[in-house]
A and B are shown apart, each in its own frame.
Chain A
């Protein structure tokens, strides 16, 4: 091929003899190239080796150079795709109302290498977007990167104005912005996202942990339309009612903080959860503020008398105490140089229902002593009070239990002092005490009764559970929890007023009040929890700031408001046989008489 073209190209300018000689020489070279002569092979091999070596050195050098460079060259498309925030699935409440959704907005970016006059660009852009810091922007545009953000999520008007500036190297890309149409409602459960649409707290973070969002890694992009909405167990209307009542109470009782939650005792679903003060997930602001934590999940508190429900259930379950047992509460209980008093001292021998309705510290301490230190530890461990409760929420807290747990600890823990647990943990235990004896971990996702039954772990017998319902009902009719005894709902309840620890000592006037209520007490569906931090007495309340005066009243209002919302109209008459097991044992099915003296 080479010979023919060479001979064909210059047939005219060379003489025929010359041409012939050249053809002959070319033929010789071609033959030499194709022949394999032993004496030439060595040199050739060396040549090939040299070329190969040079090629490998070149490749190796380039690899080292690529590895050392910090800013690998990127195409704009890749850079933009990685920088733009990814899509997230909608969050819905249990009835399908929107809790969080994505909307598309435009973001302004720049390619510094393509901007001709950086100072002019900075000047023009800051004129249109006054909230962009000029110095900061100049720095970013001065960098050697191929892609920098100018401003994320601009309004339609700002976009038009930037567009009309006609700056080369400045462009727009669509991005998803997370919005929470209900503002503060359920903020602690829903959580929030950062500027890049990455979940930072609450269920938003859970979504990322479970890879339910667009993973946003090159090559793994997910079609936003393919993201299925995620339903939560929250009920938006109940959550609103809860927040509204808590906020009214917060103002009325001039308390520092409030929290409340409602859970379904059969499935563990959290129907509503609020903690005040709260934040707006659309603009979370300073989320490190300790005042804005989720007090139900993250705060740990001494639950006070509501913990007595656990102590009495423990004593009943041990078999050492029956409902008709008599507990000596004539005098204060001495232990070393400590003395345990009753807040409403009766100074006589009490029955077990009376210990509960009079909220007798002495009675609870004596019952715990009958079970003993180890028995109490084992029971509280079984009820999930000594370990951190893990829910879907990334937030949580370890309970604070005494390291050295002696008899004195057992006595104080019996009435809720000396152990601090997260309220959601205490709710889980009380729900187990009243739902027939099955411990079910709370959840923020919908859960069917069948799924709950598969998860459930029996912790107390059905009879103990029925006794607890009976006691709570008696406490609502004749005890301290009358404020929540809403006619038609057969409410059972327990109050708790815990003195706060101020500077290492129990304060005289600062209290944390808690209230737990179940509806209806014969076959509970919901457990209501209300907590106020440092509530003040109302003018007509005789300077009393116990739980019944604040948390109890709010719980009553909640039952009145939320039960009809959840499709439970008030019953016209009391249930026929609310406590059949106890009736067979001869306790009389009428809990309303139990607390009578």
Chain B
């Protein structure tokens, strides 16, 4: 009986020791991972800083202006081009110009194309 208890106790001791060791090594591993990740984060942060600086350098206004002047077929904004939304004219009524063209050519209705169903085709306004 006692012998059995001894064996159990020794077994428990060894098992707990092994567990403690594994926990300890996991902790060490995890803390190493944390340090590594921190380094990676620092590195990424530095890289982001470099990229931001590069981006800011690329979008600096004098460079953009030189590019726009040289490559785009556009002109600087004139004050007359700025208008309030309520000053804009009403959009013109939509016209089915293709339908009208077909009608004026007498082609409308002669084709054998089946109707797309009720209300499917755009009726041409007269």
Residue of A nearest to B61 (CB): A240
Task: Say yes or no: B56 contacts A181, CB within 8 Å.
Answer: yes
Given A103-B46, A103-B49: A97 and B56 within 8 A (CB)?
Answer: yes
Task: Say yes or no: A488 contacts B61, CB within 8 Å.
Answer: no
A569 to B85: give the CA distance in the assembly, Å.
12
> B26 in the interface, Cβ–Cβ < 8 Å?
no
A486 to B56: give the CA distance in the assembly, Å.
32
Task: Say yes or no: A564 contacts B82, CB within 8 Å.
Answer: yes
> B84 in the interface, Cβ–Cβ < 8 Å?
yes
For chain A residues 496-529, which have a beta carbon within 8 Å of chain B? Answer: none
Task: Say yes or no: A236 contacts B61, CB within 8 Å.
Answer: yes
Residue of A nearest to B57 (CB): A181
Chain A residues with CB below 8 A from B84, complex form:
569, 572
> A185 in the interface, Cβ–Cβ < 8 Å?
yes
Task: Say yes or no: A564 contacts B79, CB within 8 Å.
Answer: yes
Selected from B50, B60, B62, B77, the residue in CB contact (under 8 A) with A103 is: B50
Looking at B52, B53, B65, B77, the one whose CB has the most chain A CB atoms below 10 A away is B53
Task: Say yes or no: B56 contacts A182, CB within 8 Å.
Answer: yes
Task: Say yes or no: B60 contacts A569, CB within 8 Å.
Answer: no
Task: Say yes or no: A487 contacts B49, CB within 8 Å.
Answer: no
* Chain A nearest CB, measured from B94 CB (Å): 30
Chain A residues with CB below 8 A from B62, complex form:
182-183, 185, 240, 243-244
Residue of B nearest to A239 (CB): B61
Residue of B nearest to A247 (CB): B62
> B24 in the interface, Cβ–Cβ < 8 Å?
no
> B45 in the interface, Cβ–Cβ < 8 Å?
yes
1/0 contact string of A15-33 vs chain B (CB within 8 Å): 0000000000000000000
Given A183-B62, A185-B61, A236-B61: A487 and B53 within 8 A (CB)?
Answer: no
A98 to B57: give the CA distance in the assembly, Å.
9
Chain A residues with CB below 8 A from B45, complex form:
225
For chain B residues 15-53, which have a beta carbon within 8 Å of chain A? Answer: 45-46, 49-50, 52-53
Given A98-B52, A101-B49, A104-B46: A183 and B60 within 8 A (CB)?
Answer: yes
A306 to B52: give the CA distance in the assembly, Å.
43
1/0 contact string of B57-87 vs chain A (CB within 8 Å): 1001110010000000000110100101001
A488 to B84: give the CA distance in the assembly, Å.
13
> A292 in the interface, Cβ–Cβ < 8 Å?
no
* Chain A nearest CB, measured from B84 CB (Å): 7
> A61 in the interface, Cβ–Cβ < 8 Å?
no
A564 to B81: give the CA distance in the assembly, Å.
11
Chain B residues with CB below 8 A from A487, complex form:
79
A31 to B45: give the CA distance in the assembly, Å.
72
A240 to B60: give the CA distance in the assembly, Å.
9
Chain B residues with CB below 8 A from A182, complex form:
56-57, 60-62
Task: Say yes or no: B65 contacts A179, CB within 8 Å.
Answer: no
Chain A residues with CB below 8 A from B50, complex form:
103-104
> A317 in the interface, Cβ–Cβ < 8 Å?
no
Task: Say yes or no: A104 contacts B79, CB within 8 Å.
Answer: no
> A138 in the interface, Cβ–Cβ < 8 Å?
no
Chain B residues with CB below 8 A from A236, complex form:
61
For chain A residues 194-243, which have a beta carbon within 8 Å of chain B? Answer: 225, 236-237, 240-241, 243
> A102 in the interface, Cβ–Cβ < 8 Å?
yes
A179 to B49: give the CA distance in the assembly, Å.
11
Task: Say yes or no: A185 contacts B65, CB within 8 Å.
Answer: no
A217 to B70: give the CA distance in the assembly, Å.
50
A12 to B40: give the CA distance in the assembly, Å.
69
Residue of B nearest to A237 (CB): B61
Task: Say yes or no: B79 contacts A488, CB within 8 Å.
Answer: yes
Chain A residues with CB below 8 A from B61, complex form:
182, 185, 236-237, 240-241
* Chain A nearest CB, measured from B62 CB (Å): 6
Residue of A nearest to B62 (CB): A240
Task: Say yes or no: B79 contacts A560, CB within 8 Å.
Answer: yes
Chain A residues with CB below 8 A from B46, complex form:
103-104
Chain B residues with CB below 8 A from A102, complex form:
49
Chain B residues with CB below 8 A from A101, complex form:
49, 52-53, 56
Selected from B56, B60, B65, B79, the residue in CB contact (under 8 A) with A570 is: B79
Given A101-B52, A244-B65: A181 and B79 within 8 A (CB)?
Answer: no
1/0 contact string of A476-500 vs chain B (CB within 8 Å): 0000000000111000000000000
Residue of B nearest to A559 (CB): B79
Task: Say yes or no: B52 contacts A569, CB within 8 Å.
Answer: no
A102 to B49: give the CA distance in the assembly, Å.
7
1/0 contact string of A239-265 vs chain B (CB within 8 Å): 011011000000000000000000000
A455 to B72: give the CA distance in the assembly, Å.
47
Task: Say yes or no: B79 contacts A185, CB within 8 Å.
Answer: no
1/0 contact string of A167-188 vs chain B (CB within 8 Å): 0000000000001011101000
* Chain B nearest CB, measured from A132 CB (Å): 25
* Chain B nearest CB, measured from A320 CB (Å): 42
* Chain B nearest CB, measured from A567 CB (Å): 11
A102 to B53: give the CA distance in the assembly, Å.
8
Chain B residues with CB below 8 A from A488, complex form:
79
Task: Say yes or no: B82 contacts A570, CB within 8 Å.
Answer: yes
A244 to B61: give the CA distance in the assembly, Å.
10
For chain A residues 539-594, which have a beta carbon within 8 Å of chain B? Answer: 560-561, 564, 569-570, 572
Residue of B nearest to A487 (CB): B79
A-B pairs, top 10 by smallest CB distance, nearest first, are A240-B61, A181-B56, A181-B57, A98-B56, A104-B46, A182-B60, A569-B82, A570-B79, A103-B50, A101-B53
Chain A residues near B (Cβ < 8 Å): 97-98, 101-104, 179, 181-183, 185, 225, 236-237, 240-241, 243-244, 486-488, 560-561, 564, 569-570, 572
Given contacts A103-B46, A572-B84, 4 further A-B pairs with CB under 8 A are: A103-B50, A185-B61, A225-B45, A240-B60
A-B contacts, 15 of them at CB < 8 A, read A98-B56, A103-B50, A181-B57, A182-B56, A183-B60, A185-B60, A185-B61, A185-B62, A241-B61, A243-B62, A244-B62, A486-B79, A564-B77, A564-B79, A569-B84
Chain B residues near A (Cβ < 8 Å): 45-46, 49-50, 52-54, 56-57, 60-62, 65, 76-77, 79, 82, 84, 87
